[in-house]
Amino acid sequence: MKRIAILGGAAITVFLVAYGAITFYDYNMKIGRMWETPAVRPHEVPILAMDKNTVPVGGGEAAVRLVPVQRLVSPLSGADPAAVNQAGQVLYRTYCIHCHGKYHDGNATVGQSFAPLPGDLRSARVQRMPEGQIFSEISFGVAGKRQPPLATTIEATDRWRIVAYVKSLGIR
């Protein structure tokens, strides 16, 4: 019985010393603790004031959302297709490859954890979609699937470049 009491007391002492050391570290050291990072307290610094003419009064994502997908037209249609596709490939590797994969089939590291899997971008279904529909799905997501809305993440022109790249892949 005495041994159990001694072991219990030793365990409690070790716990209290460790807790005291961690607490001391949290309150007295300036580095290494996540709760001290700006990401945890993003609104403690006042948000910068925008210039008077910064916010658009026409157009924007809300206007694009209201346009039927068949009427959405790429502003890059007159640009050099090779340059657009090369830029689209770079953007695909930045934003899309994690889910859709190196081979555009939806079997990437992140995409494998989704149910259902991300779509195969070289499938006949995707390749036959109008460009405006692909743009809309990238921009505003797909209901009931895992495609996140990326309108606030990727600039509109860059989304069109991704669309051009996806369309250039052709049917598998």
Q: Is 94 contained in some domain?
A: yes
- Residue of higher predicted confidence among 134 and 1: 134
pLDDT in tens, 121-166: 999 999 999 999 999 999 999 887 888 899 989 999 999 999 999 9
Alpha-carbon dihedral of residues 75, 55, 135, 82, nearest 10 degrees?
40
Alpha helices in 29-147 (DSSP H): 60-66, 81-95, 97-100, 124-127, 131-140
Q: Is 152 contained in some domain?
A: yes
pLDDT for 142: 86
- List, in order, residues 6 or more apart from 133 with CB less than 8 Å away: 69, 70, 72
pLDDT band for position 31 (cuts 50, 70, 90): low
Q: Is 140 contained in some domain?
A: yes
pLDDT for 117: 85
Residue-wise over 139-153: b if at least 16 C-beta within 10 A, else e? bbeeeeebbeebbee
Q: Is 46 contained in some domain?
A: no
Domain that holds residue 8: 2-36
Residues 145 and 78 in one domain: yes
Query: How many structural domains does the chain have?
Result: 2
Residues 26 and 78 in one domain: no
pLDDT in tens, 81-119: 889 989 999 999 999 999 999 999 988 888 888 888 888
Q: Token pair for residue 9?
A: 């007391």
pLDDT for 23: 83
Residues 25 and 66 in one domain: no
